[in-house]
Structure 1
Amino acid sequence: MASSVLNGAENLKLISGIAPTRFGFVGSNFQDRRLASKNLVSFVRNYKARTPTTRCSLSSPRPASQPRFIQHKQEAFWFYRFLSIVYDHVINPGHWTEDMRDEALEPADLSDRNMIVVDVGGGTGFTTLGIVKHVDAKNVTILDQSPHQLAKAKQKEPLKECKIIEGDAEDLPFRTDYADRYVSAGSIEYWPDPQRGIREAYRVLKLGGKACVIGPVYPTFWLSRFFADMWMLFPKEEEYIEWFQKAGFKDIKLKRIGPKWYRGVRRYGLIMGCSVTGVKPSSGDSPLQLGPKLEDIKKPVNPFGFLLRFILGTMAATYYVLVPIYMWIKDQIVPKGMPI
């Protein structure tokens, strides 16, 4: 676990200044109404304050080092070959709305139109549309391994001036100290080696540059955990922090996000559940040294095993298409102000 989490409440500061009465990481249901709108958390050392003891979630049944069915580059490639057709119309309305996108990008501090920004795993460009509200499109690069997703991005008028390239999040085609901002939304869940991807984020940033990784959170409801562990990586919040810390980032903050109709409930898992940011404190490569990649995409695969994993992973994904529908119905039925 991240050292700042294991050291307890003295290492935790709520940026909003509110100390909640019910607080936990992904292991809690997180239904405190006061935190629903004030949900930015900073992980720092030696902070002394009267805050409740942090309750970390238990280890997931399958650690990040054991990829799920679609947590492979080749399965993800073909998964998006079909999902790209309906991605903006099926996934976004339930898990990644414009309001969520703008809220998640706020900690990235896109404060200068001349900033150089890389959007890694940019897909159809939905997140990029939020970036170009603040940064000139000509200074933004969209990278994704899926040509089918990128084809959708190319069709969007506000993104016409963006650079659009195919590439691997774990081996970025950018020089060291290149970008002012690194953004990645809805991509980490498919990385076989998340630590390597975040290490790359550190490398390509300039001194003082900021990385913003937006992704899912690990659910606590047993059925959601089952399908999450089948489908793709749902990291716990402390895992995000640990990856950032090991890569060398400082001033690490985590902001919880979710659709309005979830009312702060996180036990079912959120495909877009948190936005994590960190600042690069010194020029050059990351201090973290890693071995060979966990997955070699050029290595031949067993076609029958590939097909089985792809089918099972797609079936698990269907569950997470239904979850937001279920939560939206509950939001309509249960009176406002009551827990759902």
Structure 2
Amino acid sequence: MAMASTYAPGGGAGALAPGRARVRGPVGLVSLGPTRLGGLPRPLALARRSPVAAGARLRCAASSSSAARPVTAPRFIQHKKEAFWFYRFLSIVYDHVINPGHWTEDMRDDALEPADLYSRYLKVVDVGGGTGFTTLGIVKHVNPENVTLLDQSPHQLEKARQKEALKGVTIMEGDAEDLPFPTDTFDRYISAGSIEYWPDPQRGIKEAYRVLRMGGTACVIGPVYPTFWLSRFFADMWMLFPKEEEYIEWFKKAGFKDVKLKRIGPKWYRGVRRHGLIMGCSVTGVKRERGDSPLELGPKAEDVSKPVNPITFLFRFLMGTICAAYYVLVPIYMWIKDQIVPKGMPI
């Protein structure tokens, strides 16, 4: 179930206090007009609306207009090596324990809608596809032989290979920040629940631009930054929870046009976003010219081939695991509140 709202970063008429947003309807797509690179987007226009039940005031904690958090902010398990081992164990229960609280089938289908998978013959890559949960949503619209699933975790990919519906899908290991595909290869680029582990998200989105054909669409589905202090603490200590403005800026800088952001979330959250969401928005952009991205970047932020201090690795792994446990409890807490608080009232 998607939650939509409009907000106006910065001052001016209609602007909201930092961390607050007016919610216009439970489902919607936010169309992002021209932006100033290096700055924040201008007021966003709602492209789609639907009514909210009378008396319901869904509290959506949008990103504030403050500057983006520094890349040096501590994120103890965002590093690829820790994520590799984290998913070595998490892959065992990922589909049955983690997904039900954060990434449901209805959320997946709603998040994929802006990717416009209108033809069975589109050539699609699912980057960071893990166990293939999102890929299952893709093959509902696209022939499996036209789909490629890429992830750095062999343990997650092994789970994907066991799914009958994914027979025919090309499944391979690879790095989201250094994709093993020629320029101008795919019609659609999809990535769900992967950007939070990229040491350099801008590089990953630049790669998305490169491998798309002219007219192709990239769709990145990922977390949103919390505003509640405790959730914000655990988010920063675990992995990257981008602000909505950061997604927009990364897409724009990579060269994408027609950038849109759609808010999503489990229906039992009732639009509440102050705790952050591991799957909180679906961002799309269109590649209008052939070739590589116009953005130039330096060397990669992390080389997984280099050795890591074992004490540092263990500390980051344990801290990240503790923080992840908090985000397993949050949807349970929200589900209980949804059962107790009368419908139509904010939670």
Counterpart check, 1:280 vs 2:269: no
Q: Which amino acid aligns with 2:150?
A: L
**Aligned partner (choices 6, 27, 30) of residue 41 of structure 1:** 30
Q: How does 1:163-182 map to 2 (within 5 A)?
A: 163-182=170-189
Matched with 1:154 is: 161
The CA deviation at 1:35 is: 2.5
| SS in structure 2 at match of 1:107 | helix
Aligned length: 321
Taking the aligned partners of 1:219 and 1:285, their CA distance within structure 2 comes to: 34
Q: How does 1:2-151 map to 2 (within 5 A)?
A: 27-28=19-20, 30=21, 32=23, 34-37=24-27, 39-45=28-34, 56-59=64-67, 63-66=70-73, 68-151=75-158
Cα-to-partner distance string for 1:119-151 (whole Å, 9 max, x where unaligned):
000000000000000000000000000000000
Q: How does 1:262-273 map to 2 (within 5 A)?
A: 262-273=269-280
Q: How does 1:207-218 map to 2 (within 5 A)?
A: 207-218=214-225
Question: Going by fraction, where is helix more abundant, 1 or 2?
Answer: 1
Which structure 2 segments of 5+ residues have no match? 1-6, 36-40, 47-61
Matched with 1:18 is: none
**Aligned partner (choices 209, 214, 234) of residue 227 of structure 1:** 234
**Aligned partner (choices 309, 312, 321) of residue 305 of structure 1:** 312
The CA deviation at 1:45 is: 2.5
Taking the aligned partners of 1:81 and 1:199, their CA distance within structure 2 comes to: 28
Distance change (3 Å), C-alpha of 1:221 and 1:303 = same
Matched with 2:334 is: 327
Q: Which amino acid aligns with 1:191?
A: W
Taking the aligned partners of 1:64 and 1:76, their CA distance within structure 2 comes to: 18
Cα pair 2:34 2:42 within 8 Å, conserved: no
Taking the aligned partners of 2:253 and 2:301, their CA distance within structure 1 comes to: 18
Q: Which amino acid aligns with 2:66?
A: L
Cα pair 2:9 2:65 within 8 Å, conserved: no
Cα pair 2:190 2:220 within 8 Å, conserved: yes
Taking the aligned partners of 2:89 and 2:65, their CA distance within structure 1 comes to: 34
| SS in structure 1 at match of 2:31 | strand
| SS in structure 1 at match of 2:247 | helix
Distance change (3 Å), C-alpha of 1:84 and 1:23 = farther
Taking the aligned partners of 2:323 and 2:304, their CA distance within structure 1 comes to: 23
Distance change (3 Å), C-alpha of 1:264 and 1:50 = closer
The CA deviation at 1:90 is: 1.4
Taking the aligned partners of 1:117 and 1:273, their CA distance within structure 2 comes to: 22
| SS in structure 2 at match of 1:290 | coil
Cα pair 2:63 2:245 within 8 Å, conserved: no
The CA deviation at 1:305 is: 1.1
Taking the aligned partners of 1:279 and 1:94, their CA distance within structure 2 comes to: 31
Taking the aligned partners of 1:322 and 1:179, their CA distance within structure 2 comes to: 38
Over aligned residues, Cα RMSD in angstroms? 2.5
Distance change (3 Å), C-alpha of 1:105 and 1:81 = same
TM-score by length of 1: 0.89
Taking the aligned partners of 1:212 and 1:326, their CA distance within structure 2 comes to: 29
Q: Which amino acid aligns with 2:112?
A: L
Taking the aligned partners of 2:44 and 2:149, their CA distance within structure 1 comes to: 43
Cα pair 2:224 2:278 within 8 Å, conserved: yes
Distance change (3 Å), C-alpha of 1:50 and 1:116 = closer
Cα-to-partner distance string for 1:9-52 (whole Å, 9 max, x where unaligned):
89xxxxxxxxxx89688x22x573x3222x21011129999979
Q: Which amino acid aligns with 1:35?
A: G
What is the percentage of aligned positions where both structures have the same residue?
A: 74
Which structure 1 segments of 5+ residues have no match? 11-20
The CA deviation at 1:284 is: 0.0
Taking the aligned partners of 1:335 and 1:222, their CA distance within structure 2 comes to: 26
TM-score by length of 2: 0.87
